[in-house]
């Protein structure tokens, strides 16, 4: 059973930075970060092909967020810069067999999910 544990969430002011961590028990072919604002649907933030290193980002975070993988620490990171109020959400990490549009849309049924960490951005 694959297990994922997110950490690093908290409160930050507009324009600030925050780094989220996701420790995994077993590496998946694709690791991703997702977020769900209160009252809205979950959306893909970023994903990385753990074999080839290719990365994909959601349109509204590209250029501000960076996903990375540290195999030695069994951790996937999400570096978030220039945070905005609309970034406020519960952030989840997930692992799936391969990176795909289906995975990024949260529709990969075999994906394994963490329980989430809250990020709040305010002025």
Per residue in 74-112, pLDDT (tens digit) is 999 999 999 999 999 999 999 999 999 999 999 999 999
pLDDT greater than 80 at residue 1: no
**Residue 110: CB partners within 8 Å, gap ≥ 6?**
96, 97
Which 3 state secondary structure label does DSSP give 15?
A: coil
Q: Is 18 left (phi over 0), alpha (psi -120 to 50) or beta?
A: beta
């Amino acid at each position: 059973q694959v297990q994922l544990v997110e950490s690093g969430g908290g409160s930050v002011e507009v324009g600030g930075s925050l780094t989220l961590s996701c420790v995994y028990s077993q590496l998946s072919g694709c690791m991703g970060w997702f977020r769900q604002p209160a009252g809205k649907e979950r959306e893909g933030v970023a994903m990385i092909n753990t074999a080839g290193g290719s990365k994909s980002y959601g349109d509204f975070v590209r250029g501000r967020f960076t996903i990375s993988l540290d195999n030695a620490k069994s951790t996937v990171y999400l570096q978030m810069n220039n945070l905005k109020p609309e970034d406020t959400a519960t952030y989840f990490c997930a692992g799936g067999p391969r990176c795909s549009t289906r995975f990024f849309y949260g529709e990969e049924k075999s994906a394994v999910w963490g329980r989430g960490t809250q990020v709040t951005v305010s002025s």
